Amino acid sequence: MESESFTPRRRLSNGGGPRDEAATRDQAQLKQLRDTVIRLTVEKESAEREAARAMQQLQELKHLLNSDMEEIAKDADSLGQEINRLKDENHLLREELNDAQSHIFSLQPYRKDLTPEEVGRQFDDLVEQVQDWVQKFMDPWLDDYEAGVEALVTGARKQSGEAAKFRRTLQKYPDLVHGCMFPETDEDIIVAIIMRYLNDHIFQKVLYGSGQQYTEMVSFIETQMQTAVEPKRDLFAVRTWTAESYNALMSAPQFKSVRARRSKDMTLDLADILRIFCKKDKFTWFCQNMEDNCVKPAMALYEKIQVSTHHFYLDIQPYISWSGSRLSLSPEFVESIDKLDCRNILQNRKAFNMAKLDPQPTKKDLYVNLLNVCTVVPALYIRQIGQRDAIKAPAVVRKQQMLVAWGPEEKRDKFTEEGDPSLVSHLWFPKSRKRGDGWLG
């Protein structure tokens, strides 16, 4: 069998037909599509990587946020607890502050404590009011001496009860009996009677002698504070408490009527003692002025010093006493002369001041030439109370006011003989008895 000869196939010309062009286009589109797929795949992978990173960051942020929230929650809880603790502490501190303030207040008196100067001025005002009032109602009796004596003696006969009551009052004060033996002493004696009445019934009483159950309770508590309470209270604490207690009692609405009733009772009693010097149709006026110028000012001063921690008080030492039916003059008067405010009736009530006398009198001179006439106004003293039961010695705030006769006996006798006898002496001495006969022991 003969082999066939190999004959190459005919090549297609470059300018082939429509089928070739379509294939070329398909290949180009396929390549473009493959490139797009590759590009999109790359972009997808890149986006996935970005998304993964973003997710990771988000998770990290979420974790961080959760951690911060937990911390914030913990901080908030801790802060809330701290706030509550501070509130409790603040409440406790406020209570302690209130307790401290209350304690501080309890240690303080109700008012700024009184000074001796302040009390002394008010005491001077009281004495001046009493003196002005006495001068006012005694002027009609003294302006015309003869007419005054006649009217007084006539009144004493007609109103023997009034005269007797005045004499009984005078009898209690021997120095005033002595004083009425000297001329120009009527006003002084009346002032002295009023001041002693005020001292006895106001300054020497506790709450004017009223409210005894309350004052006894205050006194009982005072004693227990110093004896039964542990630790024992010192006198300063006790006096402060007492002052506050009396301030509360006197400030009580119920005490207002007590004060008014006692003022009226004392006024009527004092006016009745001096009624012999009051015209019948003027007794209401007499009582009203007695209350306004004597009783009420004295009560006001008493209530003022009653609420003081320090102890203010009045005291009187006339240095003249009864010895049977005779008057006895105490030699202690001369020994105490420096503590007294003496006015010399022989020199129109000039102050008797030993420091200004030239030459200086000896004790013998004083015993011979200085005569105690009478005491007009009590002395005012203070006992200052300190911490831990420290009590200072009594100090004079106002000296006792007295009338004296400083001069030789001849001068004293001449003054007595030439002067008009006091009106009070006409009430005291019987007609059959001469003034001064047998009275001095």
Dihedral sign, Cα of residue 16, residue 17, residue 23, residue 29 = positive
- Between helix 186-198 and helix 253-273 the angle, nearest 10°, is 150
Contact 426, 365 (CB under 8 A): no
Query: What does DSSP assign to residue 319?
Result: S
What integer pLDDT is reported at residue 407 of this predicted model? 94
| Residue spans per domain, the chain | 112-428
Dihedral sign, Cα of residue 305, residue 306, residue 307, residue 309 = positive
Threshold 0.85, pTM exceeds: no
Strand pairing of 311-315 and 379-383?
Answer: antiparallel
For residue 218, give the nearest of 232, 229, 207, 208 by alpha carbon: 207
Distance CA 216, CA 233 (A): 19
DSSP result, 162-224: HHHHHHHHHHT-HHHHHHTTSTT-HHHHHHHHHHHHHIIIIITSSGGG--HHHHHHHHHHHHH
Query: Dihedral, CA atoms, 86, 89, 91, 94, nearest 10 degrees?
Result: -120
The neighbouring-strand residues paired with 385 are 391
Residue type, 60: E
For residue 436, give the nearest of 142, 428, 190 by alpha carbon: 428
What integer pLDDT is reported at residue 412 of this predicted model? 95
For residue 131, give the nearest of 194, 183, 211 by alpha carbon: 194
For residue 248, give the nearest of 273, 225, 204, 217 by alpha carbon: 217
Distance CA 294, CA 198 (A): 8
The neighbouring-strand residues paired with 391 are 385
- CB count, 10 Å around CB of 70? 10
Distance CA 306, CA 300 (A): 10
Q: Which two tokens stand for residue 161?
A: 């009860």
Phi then psi for 162, rounded to 5 degrees? -65, -40
What integer pLDDT is reported at residue 100 of this predicted model? 66
Contact 301, 122 (CB under 8 A): yes
Distance CA 275, CA 253 (A): 33
Strand pairing of 350-351 and 400-406?
Answer: unpaired
CA distances from 168 to 50, 157, 172 (A): 128, 16, 7
What integer pLDDT is reported at residue 8 of this predicted model? 47
Contact 262, 210 (CB under 8 A): yes
Contact 218, 245 (CB under 8 A): yes
Residue type, 148: G
Distance CA 44, CA 213 (A): 109
37: Cα within 13 Å, side-chain hemisphere = 6
Mean pLDDT, 10 residues at a time, the chain of 441 residues: 47 56 80 84 84 83 77 75 83 75 53 84 98 97 94 92 96 97 97 98 91 85 83 79 85 92 97 94 96 97 91 96 94 95 96 90 94 98 78 91 96 94 91 48 49
Distance CA 290, CA 273 (A): 12
- Between helix 160-171 and helix 145-158 the angle, nearest 10°, is 100
Contact 439, 181 (CB under 8 A): yes
Helix (H) or strand (E) segment spanning residue 343: strand 340-344
